[in-house]
Amino acid sequence: MEKLSSLRVYITTIIGAVCWGLIGLFITPLYARGFTAWDVVAIRGIFTFIILILIMAVFYRSQLRTRLKDHIFFAGAGIFSIAFFNFFYFEVFSQSSLSLAVTLLYTGPLFVTILSRFFFKEPLTIRKGWALALAITGCAFVVGLLPFGQEGIPMKTLLMGILSGFCYALYSIFSKPVTKRYSGLTITTYTFLYVSIFMLLTSDIVRKTNQFQHVDVWMSAVLLASVSTVAAFVLYTSGLKHLEASKASILATVEPIVAVLTGVLFLGEHLRGWQVLGMALVLYSAILVAEKRSKVKNLTQQPRRIFKNYF
């Protein structure tokens, strides 16, 4: 029964990553209608919060109760992680390709592992190190950075890609301290509350409401919010509730595989031999990290000890 429960946690986290991997299908039509990367972040944040708050109000009203002190974590995850990692990610996508954006985003597990060691005292095991190395190498093969390399990538684009990975890592760091008190749905709802507020104050989305007269804009916005955001974040956060932050982020590296397959199946892209090798490496890294969970004593109490001054 314990093995079945552990397997369910791993599958939940991976399915969340699959939903993230489909994001390119929903962003492309929005760019075609003249929305900028910052506009798309606003659309994603606002539509996501509307969907989440409706679900919570109808089915999980009791889970809306939170402690005021915990909102520092929700706001941090929403503004410093979600808003900015989305912006850098979407900007790299608009300037280069989805493959490059996904690869640079997945420097995130490196940052998560380092930050988790500092904040949560999670051990840097040999197994975890190998999994990280294989995942990153696999991502590089999947998107074509290996074996031949890719030239002509502007330094600005590379920097934004790395920043997307760093901001992505901050989601696990901000969310982990409250995962023992709230459901994944509660955490995601309040995180996107702050994303919505921040984006309404800083974007031009209100002045572009006339663009929503197009049906494809509405379809893309709803699918972006419901599939690649609500489902993805709730599933990932639910997995994070039972996993070390670094392990959850490594399991989520199946996202670039889904992104590449999406390109092959729907955008007419071709899959090369080294990309298949890269997929195998990423999948093996997920198996490696899931094969044997590290036994970290009193892990659930660590966030409270680290952030005790806030409680």
pLDDT (tens, 9 = 90+) of the chain, 311 residues, equals 555 477 888 888 888 888 988 998 999 899 999 999 999 999 999 999 999 999 999 999 999 999 999 999 999 999 999 999 999 999 988 887 777 787 777 777 677 777 877 777 777 788 878 888 888 888 778 767 777 765 556 778 878 988 998 998 898 889 888 988 998 889 989 999 999 999 999 999 999 999 999 999 999 999 999 999 999 877 877 777 777 766 776 777 777 778 877 777 876 667 778 878 887 887 677 667 655 444 433 333 443 333 333 33
Could you tell me the pTM of the whole model?
0.77
Cα–Cα nearest to 72, from 64, 82, 60, 80: 80
* CB within 8 Å of 2: residues ≥ 6 apart: none
76-106: burial string, b at 16+ Cβ within 10 Å, e else:
bbbbbbbbbbbbbbbbbbbbbbbbbbbbbbb
